[in-house]
Amino acid sequence: MSEPLPSSSQPSKEDLKAAFKAFKKRLKVTRLEDESKLSRRPTTSGQGSAIVAISPPNQFPQAVWDELVRQGKLKKAGQGQYELGETD
């Protein structure tokens, strides 16, 4: 992973790309984990996960997440969580 950035500097394109990729991977893993819970009955239709927002990986500073929101790749979902934006 990349080194944490000072909060006053503008995130680089590489950091934004790495952070967005890490966010999407964490969201995917979280959804898969939710879908594979043993509590689901085997006779159900295999519903997908209802998870749409997660806390972002903490390896990246807040400035990276703010910039991804500004670019429209992520949307704030409240309580420190984010969801994928309209354009990803």
pLDDT mean over 48-70: 92
pTM of the shown model: 0.77
> Is residue 7 included in any domain, yes or no?
no
64 near 11, Cβ under 8 Å? yes
> Is residue 57 included in any domain, yes or no?
yes
- Indicate left, alpha or beta for 61 from its phi (over 0: left) and psi (-120 to 50: alpha): beta
> Is residue 75 included in any domain, yes or no?
yes
Q: Which residue has the higher pLDDT, 87 or 86?
A: 86
> Is residue 68 included in any domain, yes or no?
yes
- 28: containing domain: 13-34+53-84
Domain count across the chain: 1
pLDDT tens column, 1-45: 555 544 457 899 999 999 999 999 999 999 998 888 765 555 555
Give residues with Cβ within 8 angstroms of 83, minimum separation 6: 52, 53, 54, 74, 75, 77
